């Protein structure tokens, strides 16, 4: 996916004028947000569980090399294959190679953000293999040739009406009089199309929410069951996962799953939690003949031990974006790459560079709600600030903004000068704005007054008045 993160401002401006998008986004409040709050209420030990989950990931990251080796060993001993991919290109190549060797023409896919990160669909298509998304949301955006706008609800930007329209446009066998008014009817319609695809696919690709070192198991959570069909029906199952998904034990995986579903959708547990360990064994009734794991680094080892280390704890629940006022206003596409919202604002610059993604860590009010709801207690605002520091050090800060900042800082570092300047300026401004008590426009304040009035100052500064009145209120 070609990033458009550098266009965040115009992306956002378009999003703000997109009426259906705003309607679609308004549903997050009564859906994900309300449900998470309820799930948290219903589990007294939720906060403790967050600490435990965080500790598990911290421990794993501190010994990631050992756990990855242990994981690989178990995958191999259960009859599977592990492919190490340092970059997105390596991962694409590994997957294409497996598909070619299998003579695959159609590949079904479960939802995978790493799949988006390495743009696997485009790569397969360019090489004559048809990828079919089987997650309903992913299927919808594949029809529309759009990227996901949310990491767990890829089509959250769409309204029901838009989905109906897309089905009527693309499902040529769909009778005109078929009623598609309810979400259930839309799901049934998608199922009827996807059922055929599941059966004809040669390869199934899924992501992984967790990789368990103890057992060599990959875990996915879904609510539609499409993941199970994707990985059980085709002859070959490929798991694509980034290295930080590893946890030491099955017990650890359970702890993380308990916070994951609650944080993501407010469910106690996802409808389907599927554990895959190797290919079909002789006595298994079903399962793939081949089981491959493509382990993606793509910049993550660079993050280990550095300023963005904590980001590697992320379990992709989406709570940060569900609770983000900026995401809620502009949606996920405005962020211009795979990962939107606060987690994307931290992760995206690590993966595609701060020069491309510089807007993302800046486009935050630092309201702190993301960190407050993050099940892994990732200090997202702090890390966005670290990106701003890097930008500032690189000289990427816009010149006019930097000049303003420097002038202000020069005065703010010199209290006497500051008092003199503000003592002169404020009474003047106050006189100008006295009648209305506000300005509807003011030179150099266009960013503010475009949308709102600027309250005028009362008159003299507090410091002036305090000295004049000698400390009497």
Partner 1 sequence: MSKSNTATGAPKVGLFVTCLVDLMRPSVGFAAVKLLQDAGCEVEVPAAQTCCGQPAHNSGDKADTRAIARATIEAFERFDYVVAPSGSCAGMLKRHYPEIFADDSELGPRAAAFAEKVYELVSFLVDVRGLDKVDSAFDRKVTYHDSCAGLRELGIKEQPRQLLASVDGLELSEMDEAEICCGFGGTFCIKYPDVSNAIVEKKTANIAGSGADCLLAGDMGCLMNMAGKLSREGRTIEVRHVAEVLAGMTDGPAIASGGDDTA
Contacts to partner 1 from residues 416-435, by CB under 8 A: 418-419, 422, 426, 430-431, 434-435
Task: List the one residue from 401, 420, 428, 441 that touches partner 1 (CB under 8 A).
Answer: 401
Burial 117-142 (b: 16+ CB within 10 A, else e): bbbbbebbeeeebebbbbbbbbbbbb
Shortest spacing between CB 360 and partner 1, in angstroms: 11
CB 225 within 8 A of CB 272: yes
Of the pair 2, 452, the CB lying nearest partner 1 is at 452
Contact region with partner 1 (CB under 8 A), list: 92-100, 207-215, 307-315, 388-396? 388-396
Instruction: Say whether residue 454 binds partner 1 (CB under 8 A).
Output: yes
Contact region with partner 1 (CB under 8 A), list: 120-128, 132-140, 200-208, 414-422? 414-422
CB 300 within 8 A of CB 310: no
Shortest spacing between CB 420 and partner 1, in angstroms: 12
455: helix, coil or strand?
Answer: strand
Shortest spacing between CB 310 and partner 1, in angstroms: 14
Of the pair 96, 430, the CB lying nearest partner 1 is at 430
CA–CA gap between residue 95 and residue 83 (Å, rounded): 9
Instruction: Say whether residue 408 binds partner 1 (CB under 8 A).
Output: yes
Instruction: Say whether residue 158 binds partner 1 (CB under 8 A).
Output: no
Shortest spacing between CB 322 and partner 1, in angstroms: 12
Of the pair 86, 432, the CB lying nearest partner 1 is at 432
Task: List the one residue from 365, 420, 428, 441 that touches partner 1 (CB under 8 A).
Answer: 365
322: helix, coil or strand?
Answer: helix
Task: List the one residue from 13, 62, 199, 407 that touches partner 1 (CB under 8 A).
Answer: 13
Shortest spacing between CB 262 and partner 1, in angstroms: 19
Instruction: Say whether residue 397 binds partner 1 (CB under 8 A).
Output: yes
CB 43 within 8 A of CB 49: yes
Shortest spacing between CB 465 and partner 1, in angstroms: 5
**Could you tell me the two tokens for 115?**
């799949």
Task: List the one residue from 119, 174, 250, 367 that touches partner 1 (CB under 8 A).
Answer: 367
CB 108 within 8 A of CB 201: yes
Shortest spacing between CB 349 and partner 1, in angstroms: 13
Instruction: Say whether residue 27 binds partner 1 (CB under 8 A).
Output: no
CB 274 within 8 A of CB 227: yes
Shortest spacing between CB 173 and partner 1, in angstroms: 41
Task: List the one residue from 286, 393, 395, 428 that touches partner 1 (CB under 8 A).
Answer: 393
How many CB atoms neighbour CB 408 within 10 A?
Answer: 11
Task: List the one residue from 169, 355, 441, 466 that touches partner 1 (CB under 8 A).
Answer: 466
Size of the site for partner 1 (CB under 8 A): 72
* DSSP string for 233-301: SSSEEEEEEEGGGEES-HHHHHHHHHHHHHHHTS-SS-SEEEEE-SS--TT-SS--SEEEEEEE-TTHH
* Interaxial angle between packed helices 46-62 and 64-77, expressed in degrees from 0 to 180 and rounded to the nearest 10: 90
Shortest spacing between CB 120 and partner 1, in angstroms: 32
Instruction: Say whether residue 355 binds partner 1 (CB under 8 A).
Output: no
Task: List the one residue from 156, 311, 330, 347 that touches partner 1 (CB under 8 A).
Answer: 330
CB 244 within 8 A of CB 256: no
Cα angle: 258, vertex 331, 446; to 5 degrees: 135
Phi and psi torsions of 429, nearest 5°: -60, -40
């Amino acid at each position: 996916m070609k990033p458009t993160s550098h266009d965040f401002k115009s992306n956002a401006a378009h999003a703000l004028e997109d009426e259906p998008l705003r309607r679609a986004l308004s549903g997050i409040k009564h859906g994900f947000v309300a449900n998470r709050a309820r799930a948290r209420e219903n589990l007294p030990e939720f906060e403790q569980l967050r600490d435990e989950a965080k500790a598990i990931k911290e421990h794993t990251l501190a010994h990631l090399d050992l756990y990855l080796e242990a994981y690989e060993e178990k995958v191999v001993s259960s009859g599977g294959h592990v492919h190490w991919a340092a970059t997105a290109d390596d991962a694409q190549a590994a997957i294409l190679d497996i598909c070619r060797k299998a003579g695959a023409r159609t590949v079904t896919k479960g939802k995978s953000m790493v799949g988006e990160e390495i743009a696997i669909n485009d790569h397969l298509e360019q090489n004559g293999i048809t990828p079919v998304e089987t997650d309903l949301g992913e299927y919808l955006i594949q029809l529309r040739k759009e990227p996901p706008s949310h990491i767990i609800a890829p089509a959250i930007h769409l309204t029901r009406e838009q989905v109906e329209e897309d089905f009527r446009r693309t499902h040529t066998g769909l009778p005109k009089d078929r009623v598609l008014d309810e979400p259930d009817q839309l799901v049934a319609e998608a199922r009827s199309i996807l059922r055929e695809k599941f059966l004809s696919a040669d390869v199934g690709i899924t992501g992984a929410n967790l990789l368990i070192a103890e057992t060599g198991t990959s875990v996915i959570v879904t609510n539609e069951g499409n993941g199970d069909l994707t990985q059980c029906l085709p002859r070959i199952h490929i798991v694509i996962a980034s290295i930080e998904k590893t946890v030491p034990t099955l017990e650890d995986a359970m702890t993380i799953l308990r916070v994951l579903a609650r944080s993501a959708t407010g469910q106690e547990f996802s409808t389907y939690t599927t554990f895959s360990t190797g290919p079909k064994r002789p006595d298994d009734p079903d399962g793939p003949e081949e089981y491959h794991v493509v382990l993606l680094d793509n910049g993550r080892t660079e993050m280990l031990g550095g300023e963005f280390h904590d980001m590697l704890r992320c379990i992709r629940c989406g709570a940060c974006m569900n609770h983000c006022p900026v995401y809620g206003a502009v949606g996920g596409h405005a962020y211009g790459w795979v990962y939107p919202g606060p987690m994307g604002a931290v992760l995206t610059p690590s993966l595609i560079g701060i020069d491309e993604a510089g807007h993302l860590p800046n486009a935050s009010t630092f309201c702190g709600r993301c960190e407050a709801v993050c099940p892994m207690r990732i200090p997202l605002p702090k890390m966005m600030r670290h990106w701003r520091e890097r930008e500032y050090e690189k000289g990427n800060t816009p010149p006019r903004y930097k000049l303003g900042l420097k002038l202000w800082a020069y005065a703010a570092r010199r209290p006497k000068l500051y008092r003199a300047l503000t003592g002169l300026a404020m009474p003047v401004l106050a006189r100008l704005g006295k009648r209305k008590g506000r300005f509807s426009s003011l030179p150099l304040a266009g960013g503010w007054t475009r949308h709102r009035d600027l309250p005028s100052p009362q008159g003299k500064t507090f410091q002036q008045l305090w000295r004049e009145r000698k400390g009497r209120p």
